[in-house]
Amino acid sequence: MKLGERTRRIADGARALRLARANAANERLAPADLWALQSERLTALVRHAVARSPFYREHYRGLDVAGPVDLAALPTTDKSALMDAFDEWVTDPRLRRADVEAHLADPSAGALHLGEYRACATGGTSGRRGLFVYSRADWDAAMAGFVRHSAFAGTTPRLPRRRIAVITTVSPLHMSARFGATADFGLHRVLRLDARRPLAELADALQAFQPDALGGYPSILALLAEEQRARRLSIAPGSICTSSEVRTAEMEARMIAAWGVLFFDVSATTETGITAMDCGEHRGLHVFEDLVILENVDERGRPVPDGERGERLLVTNLWNRTQPLIRYELSDIVAMDSSACACGRTFRRIASLEGRSDDVLMLHGAGGGTVPVHPLTVRSPFAADEDVRQYQIVYDGHSLTVRLVPRDAADAAEVATRIRSALATKLAEAGAEPPPIVVELVDSLERNAGPSGKFKLIEVRRPARGPQAEGEAPRPSA
C-alpha cells in the first residue's frame, strides 16, 4: 500500500472511530429520547432532499415539510423509481448516472469519483442494477456503523493484532469490500478471500492464516464447517460473524458443531450500510436506530405489530445526503421485538430474518386460487435431513427444481427420494397443490456470477408473461 493511500485510510478510520464513539451513547437512550433524535434527523434529511433533489421536490409536492416531518405521511420509494430518475435523485448535480457507470467500469474503481465519492453497484435480489454513491461525510457515517459492528462482535483492536479472515467478495464494486479496504490500515491482520474460490483453496488459506475471528457468507462458512468436522481444516476462531445471506438452522447447527462458538449475524445493504446486528445475548439483531428507521409493514403498507411477520420493510437512511433514501422498499421478511434486552441497549431488535418476499412461492391452492408459500416452509425438509450438504431451489412458474449436494457417505438416490416426498408434504400442508418436483444431484453449486458472489437458496424465475406474472400460479401437470 502506498504511503498516501495508507495516510488517507488512517484519517478515514480516525473520523469513523470518533463518530462511532459519539454514537455509542445513543444505544441506551430512553425510547422517547431516541424518537426525538430520529425525528430531528429525519426532518433535516427531508428538508435537505427537497432543497437539493429535483426528484424529491416533485415527489413531496404539496406536503408541508416546514415543521417536524410525519414519516407515515410520506410516499414510499423503490429501487426502480430511483434508478430511473438517478440524475434528478442525487443532490449533487455533477453526479450523472452515465459517468458513475463509466467510473465503475474502470478497473481502478476503488478510486474516488470526482475526487470525493465512493461508488458501489449491486444487482440485488430483484436483479435490477443499483448504483449508489457516498460523499466523504456519508462514508464516515457508514463506517461508524461498521465500527459499531466490531464492538458488538468483540473484534476491537488489540495487541498483538487480531488475525481476521473475511470470506465474501473482493470486488471494489461491492460495499463490503470497500468497507474492508477503508478499515485495512494496520489495526488488524486481515485476510480477505473471494467466496467464489474453490472450497479446498479457501480451506488451505485459512489453515495457513489461523484466524482469531472469522466472517463471511453463511453458505460458505457452513461448507467450511464441514471441512473442519472432516478434519480437512483445523482452525479455532473465537468470534464468528455471518452476513448478507439468510443463515438457516442447519447452517448454524453445522457451524456450532464445528467450532463451538455462538455466531453473530449482521443485516446490511448497499443502500444503508450495516443496519442491524445481534449483541452478546444473541436474542435478535439490534437495529441501529440512530442511523436508520425501519418500518415493518404488511402487503398494504400497514404497520405490523411486534412478533408478527411483515411483508416488506420501509427503510429510511438517516445519514446519506447524496442519495436520500426515505421510506425505501426492501423485500425482507422480518418480525420485530421492542422488549428490553439484557445487554442494556434500547434499540429494537429484528427477532427473525427469514428471507425476502421475492422468495415466496405463489403456487396453485389445493382448494383453488393461489397460495403463498413462505421460504421457511420450503427450507424445512432440508433442515431435518443430515445427509444434505448443500441445496438450492429454483421455481420457474411451473416446476420446482432442487439442486442437491448430498454428503459423501450418503445414498444419493435415497436422499433425493426423501427430499422430494418431504417437500411435497410440506407444500400440501401449506395448502398448495405441489407442482412437479425435480431433484438434480450435483457435486457442487455455483455462486452468484456477479461481484458479490452471494448464494441464493431459493430462486424464483418468474416468466415475463402468463398466469404467474399476473398473480396466478399455473396448475401443476399430471
On the question of pLDDT at 109 being above 60, the answer is no
Element (H, E) at 258: helix 249-259
Region 10-21 average pLDDT: 83
Mean pLDDT for the chain overall = 87
Confidence of residue 163 (pLDDT cuts 50, 70, 90): very high
Predicted pLDDT of residue 372: 81
- Which amino acid is it at 117? Y
On the question of pLDDT at 439 being above 70, the answer is yes
| Architecture in CATH of 1-355 | 3-Layer(aba) Sandwich (3.40)
CA–CA separation, 54 vs 181, rounded Å? 33
Predicted pLDDT of residue 449: 60
CA–CA separation, 261 vs 154, rounded Å? 13
On the question of pLDDT at 421 being above 90, the answer is yes
Q: Is 65 exposed, middle or buried (0-12, 13-18, 19+ CB in 10 A)?
A: middle
Which of the four CATH numbers 3.40.50.620, 3.90.45.10, 3.40.50.970, 3.30.300.30 does domain 360-470 have? 3.30.300.30
Confidence of residue 467 (pLDDT cuts 50, 70, 90): very low
CA–CA separation, 337 vs 351, rounded Å? 6
On the question of pLDDT at 474 being above 70, the answer is no
pLDDT digits (tens, 9 = 90+) for 21-61: 999 999 999 999 999 999 999 999 999 999 999 999 999 99
Write the DSSP symbol of residue 26. G
CA–CA separation, 325 vs 275, rounded Å? 13
On the question of pLDDT at 385 being above 90, the answer is no
On the question of pLDDT at 304 being above 90, the answer is yes
Phi and psi torsions of 374, nearest 5°: -70, 150
CA–CA separation, 364 vs 476, rounded Å? 8
Contact yes or no for 212/189 (Cβ under 8 A): no
Instruction: Say which residue, 60 or 169, is predicted with more confidence.
Output: 60
Tell me the domain boundaries of the chain. 1-355, 360-470
Report the predicted TM-score, pTM, of the whole model to 2 decimal places. Answer: 0.81
pLDDT digits (tens, 9 = 90+) for 312-350: 999 999 999 999 999 999 988 899 999 999 999 999 999
Domains 1-355 and 360-470 agree in fold: no
On the question of pLDDT at 123 being above 90, the answer is no
CA–CA separation, 103 vs 445, rounded Å? 32
Predicted pLDDT of residue 471: 37
